[in-house]
Amino acid sequence: MKLKKTKTITIVLLLLLVTFAPAIAEDTPATKLLKARTAEFDTEIIKVTDNIYTAIGYSVSAVSMVIGTDGIIIIDTGMDTISAKEVLADFRKITTKPVKAIILTHSHGDHTGGIPVFSADTNPQIWACENFGSETEPLAKAGLTIQNKRGARQGGFMLPPEKRINNGVAKAYWPKRGGDVFKTAKNLKPTNTFNALRKKMNIAGVNIELVAIDGETTDALYVWLPDHKTLFAGDNFYKSWPNLYAIRGTMYRDILAWADSVDQMLNESPEFLVPGHTRPVIGKTKINDMMTDYRDAIRFVFDKTIEGMNKGLTPNELVEYVKLPERFANKDYLREYYGNTQWAVRQIFNAYLGWFDGNPTNLFPLLPKDEAQRIAQLAGGKGNLLSQARQAIQTADYQWAAQLADYLITLEPDASEPKLIKATALEHLAENILTATGRNYYLTCVQELRNAAGKTQANDKQKTSKQTQE
């Protein structure tokens, strides 16, 4: 009887937690901005200039077509063959000329997945940097696979449609490959590569310059068409704060090199700009203003972070110290739709000084369980710690609620209520963050926590029923 009563009390407490938790606002300021952002990804074939077209909104990245005298050049191919077939069908409404070449701005799978479609009939040249695929090589060599799971969380690929708005620089899209969308398939290899800083060539009567750069990936390039004054930037430029650190986990992205690459593209004086994601930008003055801000904002964050590091600030202190000036923060094309300045700051610190924040207390910190036991003792026991976590939910102190829940989960991994508390906290945090990757990560973990708590409750119910029968 005592066991049954205890289980009943627990269930009642869980119901109270859900009942009295503050309701999520239908449209927080962050949610409103992200919803308005969706118009950027409306499906459309956009005429950039004469003989140049870009497909937006078919999957997640831009796919472009340049029409030459006796054929076409495709720049990036989209995420998968499904979307690539749709793009090619609509391109064929404009021209039936054969595909002479495919140019890949970098090796991420969301830009290379459509290669089989565009190369099926004509066996075109496929151009890329000589070190194509170099970003993922160290991870693969180490045998790391966790980034696939984290990538699925970041992308929101495990979420139902009602939980996703967009991905900040792209529509909400569900690829068949799950989380491993940033890796190029092994059979999709370039047929032509170059190792010079700049490769000039003529394909189908079109003068093309491929320029090797660093930034989001070490194998990146931009495409410059001098006769058309058109630049294809790949993922070193799109209309959002750049993803200088991806929370799925990546090797260090050279942030100074990224800013320098934007400066190099700016020096081409483009009149037409096609980002790797988001819609094209038309007009020399507009492009100049946007790319100048983009370059200067990245350099500001880097320089300010180094300044703070030299003052002895820790990563947790640096994210308060480094704030974008209003001249950058108020520009829509620098909002944190996709990347996040705090993550960039932490990554810069880690890249140059490593994991140690300089505080000797953190040289050999307590193990998570030891720390959790001491926090519970300070609170007056696990029961009081649980009460504090519930109270944090009710007072909308969601970050603190999540952290308290982590202590409780460490102490009692099989308990369901701490998981539900954390899930509730993360759900509210998600609704108040603009960065889509962070929102997706939060909400995917909410789903995972509630599923785990549900299994625990089902097991408890089954055990209680069995013991009652006995």
What pLDDT score was predicted for residue 6? 46
Q: What is the per-residue pLDDT for 12?
A: 46
What range does the domain containing 117 cover?
A: 41-132+150-278
Last residue of a domain, one of 250, 278, 306: 278
Query: Are residues 231 and 119 part of one domain?
Result: yes
CATH number of the domain to which 107 belongs: 3.60.15.30
Burial class (CB within 10 angstroms; exposed 0-12, middle 13-18, buried 19+) of 92 = exposed
Q: Is residue 313 part of a domain?
A: no
Residue 256 and residue 376 in one domain: no
Whether residue 90 sits in one domain with residue 186 = yes
Residue pLDDT, tens place only, 200-237: 999 999 999 999 999 999 999 999 999 999 999 999 99
Whether residue 122 lies inside any domain: the answer is yes
Q: What is the CATH number of the domain that holds 384?
A: 1.25.40.880
Let me know: does 338 contact 441? Beta carbons within 8 Å.
no
* Domain match, 262 and 386 both: no
Shared domain for 260 and 379, answered yes or no, is no
First to last CA, the chain: 12
Q: Are residues 228 and 106 in the same domain?
A: yes
Provide the token pair at 10: 């627990």
CA 389 vs CA 6, 242, 279, 467: distances in Å: 20, 35, 44, 31
Of 16-20, 140-144, 324-328, the least confident:
16-20
Judge whether residue 398 has pLDDT over 50: yes
Query: 266 with 375, same domain?
Result: no
Q: What angle do CA 307, 338, 147 make, to 5 degrees?
A: 90
| Confidence check: pLDDT of 176 > 80 | no
* 283-308 per-position pLDDT tens digit: 999 999 999 999 999 999 999 999 99
Q: With respect to residue 103, please indicate whether it lies within any of the assigned structural domains.
A: yes
For 86-91, the CB contacts below 8 A with 24+ separation are 86/58, 87/55, 87/58, 87/63, 87/114, 88/117, 88/118, 90/45, 90/55, 91/45, 91/53, 91/55, 91/65
In the predicted structure, residue 120 carries a pLDDT above the cut 60 = yes
Tell me the CA distances in angstroms from 149 to 6, 75, 175, 242, 444, one per residue in order.
37, 29, 14, 22, 11
Q: Residues 271, 397: one domain?
A: no
Encode pLDDT of 152-175 as tens digits. Answer: 999 999 999 999 999 999 999 987
Q: Which of 226, 254, 278 is the last residue of a domain?
A: 278
pTM for this predicted structure: 0.91
Both 75 and 219 in a single domain?
yes
> 449: helix, coil or strand?
helix
Residue 4 has pLDDT above 80, yes or no: no
Which pLDDT tens digit goes with each residue over 81-99? Answer: 999 999 999 999 999 999 9
Domain boundary among 278, 309, 336: 278
- Burial class of residue 37 (count of CB atoms within 10 Å of its CB; 0-12, 13-18, 19+): buried
Closest Cα to residue 127, out of 99, 100, 98, 104? 104
Residue 112 in any domain: the answer is yes
- At 455 the pLDDT is 82
Assess whether 168 and 273 both reside in one domain: yes
Cα(437)–Cα(443) distance, integer angstroms: 10
Strand arrangement of the beta sheet that strand 72-75 belongs to: 44-49, 52-56, 63-67, 72-75, 99-103, 125-129, 192-194
Say if residues 73 and 63 touch (Cβ distance below 8 Å).
no
Note whether 17 and 11 are within 8 A (CB).
no
Both 102 and 202 in one domain: the answer is yes
What is the Cα–Cα distance from 325 to 60, expressed in whole angstroms? 30
| Cβ–Cβ under 8 Å, residues 30 and 431 | yes
Q: Is residue 296 in a domain?
A: no
- Would you say 126 and 113 are in contact if contact means Cβ atoms under 8 Å apart? no
Judgement on whether residues 119 and 239 belong to the same structural domain of the protein: yes
DSSP H helices, 21-145, are 29-37, 81-91, 109-112, 115-118, 137-142
Q: Residue 290: inside a domain, yes or no? A: no
Measured CA to CA, the distance from residue 276 to residue 299 in angstroms comes to: 21
Query: Is 249 within the bounds of a domain?
Result: yes
Give a yes or no: residue 332 inside a domain: no
Nearest of 33, 81, 86 to residue 332 by alpha carbon: 33
* Number of structural domains found in the chain: 2
